[in-house]
Chain A
């Protein structure tokens, strides 16, 4: 893991002139942008809801377990209630019969929420094109990051998580108002 630099840690400690004489003055004040602060907090506390339907589940286990370890990115603890989750990971093929369930799970998640399409089946239907398969979950719910592969390598998933983290860090976080 890279050492923390100013970009990954947007809070810059500034010691006020009046306090510079005291011993622990360095963290008396912090200056940052509010969106950056909230985004920084959110991007390292993703709570995934694994909507796991098919063989990609094996890769999801691999990427969650210690050799690859999504905990390093703050996305380790799966919540099996959509109300406690903010990252919906759709792992595997979604059929037309399952689509109402997926939509209901998505609608039960609280804002802010993000969606990852894990593997080609969730992204586009993959090699399925028939009466049964939903050709990509983005036909029914918005998707933030698509992870290709059949199944994706753990590195690909981690790259997807990191890209999602960048997206979260760059986003507006309207919870922060002028009264904050």
Chain B
């Protein structure tokens, strides 16, 4: 697969004609929340993207659709990467889980849930993985106060 296939990918995968581009050699597809699971399944089954590299998010506090959930997929056969960007709003910051497609999604979605508070529909274990039980808020959101600490041990006096 080469960059020439970008048009094919776009035609095949994004019927809503969301923008697609190539950024630093990575194909970037912008999806609606409802398209994520079906697109990822087609990428895996039909286009050979067999490796889920990362699940993360970007917080755009001034945008109407505040969060951009980012998935990176890799094809070990074609050595091509694809980035899926899914915009969701703050009120309904939930996307479909990719656990059923990629086993590695479980932990990465937990981490993304820790840091950004994104919900993953279908991931039944979203307990804190890097943070601890009782931690309030999501530290990589832009509105988390930079200096707010939530210590587990009482500080000594003085």
Contacts and interface: CB of A to CB of B under 8 A. Distances in A.
Interface of A: 96-97, 99-100, 103, 129-132, 134-135, 138-142
A131 B150 contact: yes
Nearest to B137: A131
Contacts of B151: 96, 99, 134, 139
25 contacts: A96-B132, A96-B149, A96-B153, A97-B132, A99-B151, A99-B152, A100-B152, A100-B153, A103-B153, A129-B146, A129-B147, A130-B139, A130-B147, A131-B139, A131-B144, A131-B148, A131-B149, A131-B150, A139-B151, A139-B155, A139-B156, A140-B153, A140-B154, A140-B156, A141-B156
Interface residues of B, number: 15
B131 interface: yes
B62 to A, nearest CB: 22
Interface string B120-152: 000000000001100000010000101111111
A138 B156 contact: yes
A132 B154 CA distance: 15
B146 A130 contact: yes
Interface of B: 131-132, 139, 144, 146-156
A28 B150 CA distance: 62
Contacts of A97: 131-132, 152
B127 to A, nearest CB: 14
Contacts of A132: 139
B148 to A, nearest CB: 6
A36 B139 CA distance: 52
Given A130-B139, A131-B139, A96 B152 contact: yes
Nearest to B131: A97
A103 B156 CA distance: 11
A96 B155 CA distance: 11
B146 to A, nearest CB: 7
Contacts of A130: 139, 146-147
Contacts of A96: 132, 149-153
Contacts of B147: 129-130
B156 A142 contact: yes
A138 B155 CA distance: 9
Nearest to B148: A131
List the 3 closest pairs (A to B, CB-CB), nearest first: A131-B139, A99-B153, A139-B155
A97 B146 CA distance: 18
Nearest to A129: B147
